[in-house]
Amino acid sequence: MRALSHILLFLFLAQSVVAKGNVYVQSTKAKLLSQPKLSADGFPLEIGEVLSPVSEQGLFVQVRTEGKMGWVSKLFVSPLPPGNQIKLGVTSNSSEAVVARQRASDFTKTAAARGLSETQKMRVRGEGELYDFESLRWLESVFSDTQTINQTATVGAEENSNILNFLFKKPELEVLKETKAEVKLGRSLAARLLKKYNLVKDSEFTEYLNGVASRMAAVSSRKDLSFRVGIIESPEINAFACPGGYIFLTTASLKKIQSESELAGIIGHEMGHIVLFHNGEFKQSNEFLDVLSSLLAPPGAEVVNAATSTVLDEMEKQLFETGRDMKLELEADEAAVTLTSQVGYSPVGLSNYLNTLSKSANIDSFKKTHPDTTIRIAKLVFFESSISSDNSSNPKDRWNEFKSKLKP
């Protein structure tokens, strides 16, 4: 069983960008650079442009396009083709889903006639002992599409215009199957976290956090995801990134933050894990089995089949025990510097926060799943020296308005 768990998890592991074939430009910040650093000379790339990877160096990939060679940040391109943003909580009405529902219905009728136990065959798990989907649905409902547009408008009128023009010129775009599969798994992992920790249901505070996140999401390559940031009650200093755009910060972590740039740095780090596919890539799940599982569940419940549950066991262990590889953590740190600086935040926010943690107590769980803080700060200083902040859209620091909401 242990071997099976590792095999299933391996199926989700990320591969080299170069090994995947083409990558697609999905951010207005993307430029074809002369060197693998954002401060290098370069010219803008168009959203949707197809690039051919040649090699990689850190957070950059060398690409070829129309006979030209250059470098581009992995944060601004994606191995996935352009797709529409997924709408959380919306049931698919696709023809495949309709056919799957009919097949699942026929299966349950046949099984009932034969006296078979569908639940034993499917090993379906619902919201009871392992998952809290109710709290997750609250988080998903807090930040509406209208609010997202209002918040990201501050990124820059020209940038939003480019994004909207691209989307409206492509009415045939659908939500990618890979995105659906990623969000499905990520929702289940997030629901597991919320079973372990109480979600702080403060709408105003949560909207504020999501406003900070939306600024950075707007310049990243993951336009297909609806990022959600939630607060969880815990005396442990930590933060978690789940596939599909779910990010959670503990109350203890928030209490250590001194400015909005530090907050952005932490969120940017977790967002980096997601944007860079550190959780792996995901294939479309079996629609028939998904619908069958839902038919077997109690009314209003959400279910996780046995195969997915096994993968979640390994992912949960990574979050709480083993942590990610140091290389991936340092990549996420560099991603935080890049994303924050691109929307006007100080690029030193994350390093300032880590410096505070290095002098703090009660960070055992954080140390267990993250590289040595001293090494991370040294690397961050190097990343920060090669980048400049976009001061044209420097956001107002509102952190102190919300920090006072945290219990002592």
Question: Does residue 32 sit in the same domain as residue 161?
Answer: no
For 233, phi and psi rounded to 5 degrees? -80, 115
Question: Does residue 74 sit in the same domain as residue 142?
Answer: no
Asked if residue 37 is part of any domain, the answer here is yes
Cα(296)–Cα(367) distance, integer angstroms: 42
Return the half-sphere exposure (C-beta side, CA atoms, 13 A cut-off) of residue 132: 14
Asked if residue 359 is part of any domain, the answer here is yes
DSSP 8-state class, residue 220: S
pLDDT 10s digits, 213-238: 999 999 999 999 999 999 999 999 99
pLDDT 10s digits, 15-34: 445 445 899 999 999 999 99
Asked if residue 5 is part of any domain, the answer here is no
In this structure, the strands spanning 228-232 and 246-250 are parallel
Question: Does residue 370 sit in the same domain as residue 239?
Answer: yes
DSSP 8-state class, residue 193: H
Three-state DSSP class for residue 205: helix
Q: Which two tokens stand for residue 354?
A: 């880590």
Q: Give the end of a domain, one of 51, 78, 105.
A: 78
Question: Does residue 384 sit in the same domain as residue 322?
Answer: yes
Q: Residue 313 pLDDT more than 80?
A: yes
Asked if residue 6 is part of any domain, the answer here is no
Question: Does residue 141 sit in the same domain as residue 69?
Answer: no
* Number of domains the chain is built from: 2
Closest CA to 96 of 294, 286, 302: 286
pLDDT 10s digits, 151-210: 444 444 445 544 455 454 555 678 898 898 899 889 999 999 999 999 999 999 999 999
Q: Give the end of a domain, one of 78, 106, 129.
A: 78
Q: Whole-prediction pTM value? A: 0.81
Question: Does residue 41 sit in the same domain as residue 170?
Answer: no
pLDDT 10s digits, 44-85: 999 999 999 999 999 999 999 988 999 999 999 999 998 999
Question: Does residue 260 sit in the same domain as residue 385?
Answer: yes
Q: Mean of the pLDDT values across residues 336-350? A: 95
More confidently predicted of 97 and 332: 332
More confidently predicted of 116 and 89: 89
Asked if residue 370 is part of any domain, the answer here is yes
Asked if residue 84 is part of any domain, the answer here is no
Q: Which two tokens stand for residue 128?
A: 């009871």
Provide the domain limits for residue 32.
18-78
Q: Residue 316 pLDDT more than 80?
A: yes
Q: Give the end of a domain, one of 78, 109, 127.
A: 78
Three-state DSSP class for residue 77: strand
Question: Does residue 106 sit in the same domain as residue 71?
Answer: no
Asked if residue 122 is part of any domain, the answer here is yes
Mean pLDDT of the chain: 80
CB 236 within 8 A of CB 181: no
CB 89 within 8 A of CB 48: no
H/E segment holding residue 120: helix 118-122
